[in-house]
Chain A
């Protein structure tokens, strides 16, 4: 790389160094392996797409539903955008969203070179990935939505792809802005909460005033006319302006936060590369400074009849506010997505499962800690598998509560509370058991157990997420698919309990096998 010395100025040297690193990375990459993965991914996507397109047979929505979607969906989506912007602002206040290499801080950011210019490529690269993923997801949803609503395929796919692209622009822009302006976490949270409150107000009063709601207009553009259509453009312009401001100010980031983040993100990337989801979660909590409360919300009194049950609830009672809010928001989002699946396209039923899986990973924490400390566990005078099984009851009860929040949200949002509460009631416990089983299997997974077989390792890490996806998708899809009144739909969902119980039993079986095996290996 002697060409670096020939660079006419420091910025040119920086660009030459990065270009050389990119070239080196491409040279070292195994092209055939990359192509094979793209081929497999593409094939899976085509099959999923074809299956859904064939299974849905979507009928055009009635005029009442169309009017309802037109009036309320922008505010609902706006609220989701506002929540994501809140997360972005908080991440920015903690030094995100960029993860800068330690060497980049030491050599480039401490050199007399504009930090804005030095950091812009990393920010744009992150943005490209976000825009691409968002636009693709939006386009896929648009491809199903256009069959039910007025407007052409091009209009719907275009509108939802644009919405999918504008969301990461707004979120990353807000994060960059908070980072560059060195906002205190309290100030960043306050701004985000104000935006969320504004969006809630829009939703409650049927207004279209919050910038987030205006971005929501973009998603339903083929249904919008006149001012509402113009507001969609205003929303997009605001998102772009926030991004521009964020990019302009990123040079003022705090190196202290950037260094801390760089170290933790490097560890997270390594853990993710070996599919160690448990470590990723622990590191993410460190990154977010998400520590248990020193003083519990409520102190449990009385004798400990069931020590494990009590220990698990003691853990929940020390949850920090941010974790409680996250789990409640996940429940609300899952309920909202279930309603959106009924109103827009059942493709959206694929989202609540992975979302609820994230909440389940929080709920499974006491069990995961038991798994993290094998010596302590092995010194107990009974089998590990039995202990682990006893650790499942409290998370299942707590998960059922989370699902009840989701069902209540769906009841409020759908205008058909009977159906939402009915489906919720009949699947509450089996779905909670399936989700907690999946999360327990994931949290106790040993990433090096199948180190010599990558396919098996990938299956072990992705399997629980797929199980969670199925656990939420199947009852919702069946309730949607069954024809007839609420009674027929609820009993259709009830029929899927057997699937959920089988999934839960499989999870329980894997846990028992895993901990028996580990106990035998230890002895």
Chain B
């Protein structure tokens, strides 16, 4: 387990164990009543990698992230998080998931959410980390706000803070820039760079060219199958997808 760190710095990411991929899927598949959402998907992601997960709507990106987070059960193949089965205590400690739609306890404030998540992950003295995240994400003054009082963008920022306040070896983020204004996007890019520098892996599901360009690796899914795995080369990607498929989705 990677929990139980101290509260210094905004990013609590840690590097993965030597030699073991932080995220590994082997022949991973998921079907819904015969419909193949993800079929025989194989990928390995090492510590410190920044991977852009791309593909048109309904390609299977969110299904893959949910399978890796342990929110879905595979119908074939398997996935491991830092060598552990998703949903196990060690896998939960190693993986932080930022879903596409933020969810909150309706009766807890932003600060209370952050304190709770930090405490759940055994962080001691998380106060400075929480303060720094609130400040950098522009949530200062909103610490005591309930979810119902937040705009869509503010909710997204709070959700990002909740994903980053805890220690992790791999961060899965589903469309994390959705709803963010340009300054907030820049802050998020800075935070992602710090996570990578700290040795954790990042997998971002996205349609945005700026995220794809910032990533060191691009994994493309189409119709539930791996369509491309390599450097984010625009020329190659345009051979696989229409430009509208990469930029137009939600």
Residue ranges of A at the interface with B (Cβ–Cβ < 8 Å): 1-2, 4-5, 7, 9-10, 13-14, 16-17, 20-21, 24-25, 101-108, 110-114, 254-256, 259
CB-based contact B118/A103 at 8 Å:
no
- Between A9, A25, A103, A112, the greatest number of chain B beta carbons within 10 A of the residue's beta carbon is seen for A112
CB-CB under 8 A for A1 and B120, given A106-B99, A254-B73? no
| Distance A112 CA – B87 CA, assembled complex (angstroms) | 9
Contact across chains for A255 and B71 when beta carbons are under 8 A apart: yes
Complex: chain B residue closest to A256, CB-CB: B72
Assess A10 versus B72: contact at CB under 8 Å? Given A5-B127, A112-B1, A112-B93: no
Knowing A106-B99, A107-B120 are in contact, say whether A5-B105 is a contact too (CB < 8 A): no
B115/A5 in contact, CB under 8 A: yes
Question: At the interface, yes or no: B92 with Cβ under 8 Å from chain A?
Answer: yes
A-B interface, 6 closest residue pairs, ranked by CB to CB distance from nearest = A13-B119, A112-B93, A111-B120, A4-B115, A102-B103, A103-B105
Contact of B69 among A9, A17, A108, A110 (CB under 8 A): A110
Nearest chain A CB to B207 CB, angstrom units: 23
Structural contact, A9 and B105, CB atoms closer than 8 A: no
Inter-subunit contact B127/A107 (CB<8 Å)? no
Apart from A4-B115, A20-B112, list 13 A-B contacts with CB within 8 A: A1-B109, A1-B112, A4-B112, A4-B119, A7-B119, A9-B122, A13-B119, A101-B105, A106-B97, A107-B105, A107-B162, A110-B97, A259-B71
Q: How far is the CB of A178 from chain B (nearest CB, A)?
A: 16
State whether A107 touches B107 (Cβ < 8 A): no
Nearest chain A residue, comparing its CB with the CB of B98: A106
A107 to B73, CA, bound (A): 19
- Asked, given contacts A5-B118, A108-B120, whether A255 binds B87 with beta carbons under 8 Å apart, the answer is yes
Q: How far is the CB of A213 from chain B (nearest CB, A)?
A: 37
**Do A2 and B115 have beta carbons less than 8 Å apart?**
yes
| Count, chain B residues at interface, CB 8 A | 36
Whole-angstrom distance between the Cβ of A233 and the nearest chain B Cβ: 39
A259, B127: Cα distance in complex, Å: 31
B103 touches A103 (CB 8 A): yes
Question: In the bound complex, do residue A21 and residue B108 qualify as a contact, i.e. CB atoms below 8 Å apart?
Answer: yes
B242 to chain A, nearest CB (A): 32
Q: B69 → chain A, closest Cβ, in Å?
A: 7
Residues of A within 8 Å of B120, CB to CB, are: 10, 13-14, 107-108, 111-113
* Residue in A closest to B7 when the chains form the complex, CB atoms: A5
Cα–Cα, bound, A255→B119 (Å):
22
Contact in complex: A10, B69 (CB < 8 Å)? no
For the complex, what is the distance from the CA of A21 to the CA of B105, rounded to whole Å? 10
Are B113 and A107 closer than 8 Å at their CB atoms? yes
Does any Cβ of A come within 8 Å of B70's Cβ? Answer: yes
The answer, yes or no, to whether B3 is at the interface (CB within 8 Å) is yes
> How far is it, in angstroms, between the C-alpha of A113 and the C-alpha of B90 when the chains are bound?
10
Given A4-B119, A111-B121, the answer on whether A255 and B70 have CB atoms closer than 8 Å is yes
Please name the residue on chain B nearest to A14 by beta carbon.
Answer: B120
The residue on A at minimum CB distance from B112 is: A1
Residues of B within 8 A of A9 (CB): 122
Q: With an 8 A cutoff between CB atoms, is B65 at the interface? A: no
A-B contact pairs, 6 of them (CB 8 A): A1-B112, A10-B119, A20-B112, A106-B99, A107-B120, A112-B120
In the bound complex, do residue A107 and residue B93 qualify as a contact, i.e. CB atoms below 8 Å apart? no
Instruction: A63 to B70: give the CA distance in the assembly, Å.
Output: 62
Among A9, A101, A107, the most chain B Cβ lie within 10 Å of the Cβ of A107
State A21–B97 Cα separation when bound (angstroms). Answer: 24
From 84 to 129 in chain B, residues with beta carbon under 8 angstroms from any chain A beta carbon are 87, 89-90, 92-93, 97, 99, 103-105, 107-109, 111-113, 115-122, 125-127
Query: Are B104 and A103 in contact, CB atoms less than 8 angstroms apart?
Result: yes
Other-chain contact of B116, A17, A101, A102, A114 (Cβ < 8 Å): A17
* Residue numbers in A under 8 Å from B112 (CB-CB): 1, 4, 17, 20
Task: List residues of chain B with CB within 8 A of the CB of A254.
Answer: 73
Tell me the nearest residue of chain B to A255, going by C-beta: B71
The answer to whether B119 and A112 touch across the interface, beta carbons within 8 angstroms, is no
Also in contact, A13 and B116, with CB within 8 A (given A5-B126, A107-B162, A112-B92): yes
Chain A nearest Cβ from B73, distance in angstroms: 6
